[in-house]
Amino acid sequence: MIRQILSISVATWAAVTVGAQGPDALEPGQRRELYKKNRPVIEALVLQTVESSKTPSDHLKRADAYYPVLYQFSVEIQTANQAREANRVTELTGHLTVLLKDGLAPTLDKAKKQVEGGSGVERFPDVKKNLLAQIDALGKQLDPASPAGASLEAAKEKVDSITIPEKK
Amino acid sequence: MNCASARNRLLNSPDPGVVPDSVAGHVAGCPSCQAWHRLLVQVDQAVATAPVPVSAGRTKRRLVELFRTGRTPGESEHGIVTVPSTVVLPARTGLRDRVSRYWPIGLVAAALLVGAIAWITLGGKQDHAAVAQLPPDPFLKKVVAAKVRIDTADSAAERMRAWADLADDLREQARELSRMTPGEETESMESLAKLYEQAVGEDALVGQAQLLADDERAALLAKFAERLADAEQNAKRLLAEGVSPGSERPLKRIAKAAEASKNKLANLQRGRA
């Protein structure tokens, strides 16, 4: 009897495992659907990076080029929220956090140093204000207690900590 | 009356040689039953004349005991056989026996059932369900990483490498999408072609190449020109192998952009910026 129960348990476990396992790589249909869905964000990312590359030494302009990207992320996160796609919200917020912490914050820091040198000091407050307003708009869509919300808040604080230089 | 009824009555008759009145009419008109009756009479006579072996009555006692108790006289109540029995008992075919005999079939059926339910509920959803539960997009992750890398690069050479990597990712994505169902990929393919043109263009890869110092140009441009040549050849190879109509134009755009940028890098290398 024990042998039979053990056999049934092993067979059941194997059947559930085989039946439930997903493919390792993306299926062609998934790749197509993902590109369709993420195309606006991907286009914004690439095209704004090209814009930013046109002026590699104008860091304030490069920081400003993040605004359309943040806006597009905001639209996509809002759409995903409305569709109750929690996984997608988490995914997009994760990417956004990386962009803010590792992309925008260092760029804004360089911009700060740039304007401290005297160039574009008037524009800096406006650029930063607009970027923070966009991040705030994003933050309102997320539960601050959720991992995504907390992560975005931390990224915002990092951007906000880059202080506006005083006018010389 | 049919043959079976007639033969049963003949068998029940105390003297098979005498045909009862109730079946006499049938037998008289049925050659088959007449032959069968003759055989019956012969068997009856043969049994009567067969020699009977001498017996001490032990076999009879065993048989009677078997019917009364289910055990032969030589078997104890504890199931220990002291005298080998020659009586063959019929196999018991209770529920437990049947279960023990057929459990492997039941096991396979149960496994199939559980597997099917698991596949349907967890892994086998198609179309809309699959789309609704899309996994994270590895391509989006690559593009995000590329943006951060380009934006935080400290040198033109570093930015150039990042642009070249992003261009390769865009081309690879286009290659994958070109295998899709015809008609569904056109917009995506055109989008990827546009982004590829930008990535290898004057404001990105080639633009950064123009910012390189002379020694960097000598060290790097040939390598990047070679990558672009590979990209051009790959796109042309795909076109030659045959792709869906919606992918042709975008792949041609990619091949053309790669070729144009390759030539620009070659010119830069030769000092004709």
CA-CA distance, A166 to B94, in Å (whole number)?
96
Mean pLDDT for chain A overall: 83
Domain end position, chosen among B31, B62, B89: B89
Q: How many domains does chain B have?
A: 4
Q: A43 and A110 in contact (C-beta within 8 Å)? A: no
Domain ranges, residue A90:
29-160
In a shared domain, residues B169 and B191: yes
pLDDT for residue A16 is more than 80: no
- Residue B161 banded pLDDT, cuts 50, 70, 90: very high
Nearest partner of B240 among B255, B259, B227, judged by Cα: B255
Both B215 and B191 in a single domain? yes
Shared domain check, B71 and B32: no
Closest CA to A50 of B67, B265, B200: B200
Residues 6+ apart with CB under 8 A from A117: none
Residues B76 and B123 in one domain: no
Distances (CA, A) of B158 to B41, B80, B191, B250: 113, 91, 26, 28
Could you tell me if B177 and B211 lie in one domain? yes
Question: Which of these ranges, A135-139, B17-21, B88-92, B164-168, has the smallest mean pLDDT?
Answer: B88-92
Tell me the pLDDT tens digit for each residue of B38-62. 888 888 888 777 766 666 677 777 7
Same domain, B216 and B124: no
Cβ separation B185–A32 shorter than 8 A? yes
| Residue A94: closest C-alpha in chain B | B141
What's the whole-number mean pLDDT along residues B28-33?
88
Complex ipTM value: 0.81
**A100 pLDDT more than 50:** yes
Amino acid at residue number A3: R
C-beta atoms of A43 and B140 within 8 A = no
Q: How many residue pairs bridge chain A and chain B with CB atoms within 8 Å of each other?
A: 157
pLDDT band at B98 (very low <50, low <70, confident <90, very high): low
B chain contacts of residue A20, beta-carbon cutoff 8 Å: 118-119, 122-123
Residue to substitute from B100, B148, B166, B172, interface A, most A β-carbons within 10 A: B148
* Domain-embedded: residue A13: no
Please indicate, yes or no, whether residues B209 and B260 belong to a single structural domain of this protein: yes
Average pLDDT in the A15-21 region?
Answer: 53
- Report yes or no: B205 and B156 within 8 Å, Cβ to Cβ: no
Q: Which of A21-30, B202-211, B251-260 has the lowest mean pLDDT?
A: A21-30
Would you call B107 and A8 a contact, using CB atoms and an 8 Å cutoff? yes
Average pLDDT on A123-133 reads 87
Confidence of residue B7 (pLDDT cuts 50, 70, 90): confident
Q: How far is CA A113 from the centre of its chain?
A: 25
Using a CB-CB distance cutoff of 8 angstroms, which residues of chain B are in contact with residue A26? 135, 138
If asked whether residues B150 and B254 sit together in one domain, one would say yes
Q: Do A49 and B147 touch (CB under 8 A)?
A: yes
Of B105, B132, B159, the residue that ends a domain is: B132
Task: Please choose, from the candidates B250, B231, B248, the residue with its C-alpha nearest in 3D space to the C-alpha of residue B240.
Answer: B248
Which has more pLDDT, A37 or B113? A37
Q: Is B55 left (phi over 0), alpha (psi -120 to 50) or beta?
A: beta
Rounded CA-CA distance A160/B43 in Å is 115
Mean pLDDT, to the nearest integer, of B176-191?
80
CB atoms within 10 A of CB A156: 20
Q: Find the closest chain B residue to A102 by CA distance.
A: B148
Helix (H, G, I), strand (E, B) or coil at A141: coil
Asked if the Cβ–Cβ distance from A38 to B184 is below 8 Å, we say no
Interchain contact, A34 vs B184, CB within 8 Å? no
The C-alpha of A162 sits at a distance from chain B's nearest C-alpha, in angstroms, of 16
Task: For residues B241 and B120, state if they share a domain.
Answer: no
- Please say if the pLDDT value at position B81 is more than 60: no
Q: What is the 3-state secondary structure (H, E, C) of A55-104?
A: CCCCHHHHHHCHHHHHHHHHHHHHHHHHCCCHHHHHHHHHHHHHHHHHHH
Which among A116, A9, A51 is positioned nearest to B151, based on CA atoms? A51
Q: Give the count of domains, chain A.
A: 1
Contacts of B138 in chain A (CB under 8 A): 26
Q: Residues B235, B145: one domain?
A: yes
The pLDDT score that the predictor gives to residue B208 is 92
Domain identity same for B15 and B107: no
Question: B207: which 2 tokens?
Answer: 């633009």
Choose the closest CB to B199 out of A19, A21, A46. Answer: A46
| pLDDT tier, B163 (very low <50, low <70, confident <90, very high otherwise) | very high
Q: Which of A158, A162, A168, A54 shows the shortest CA–CA distance to A117?
A: A168
d(CA B68, CA B90): 15
Residues B242 and B142 in one domain: yes
What does the pLDDT read at residue B56?
A: 66
B253 touches B198 (CB < 8 A): no
**Residue B234: predicted pLDDT:** 94
Domain boundaries, position B80: 53-89
Q: What is the pTM of this model?
A: 0.64
Give the count of alpha carbons within 13 A of B33, CB side only: 21
pLDDT digits (tens, 9 = 90+) for A129-152: 888 988 888 888 888 888 878 888
Which pLDDT band holds residue A98 (cuts at 50, 70, 90)? very high
Q: Do A11 and B107 touch (CB under 8 A)?
A: yes
Q: Tokens 């007449």 correspond to what residue?
A: B34
For residue A9, the one-letter residue type is S
Record: contact B151-A52, CB cut-off 8 A = yes
**Res B15: pLDDT:** 82
Percent of chain B residues past pLDDT 70, beyond the cut: 77
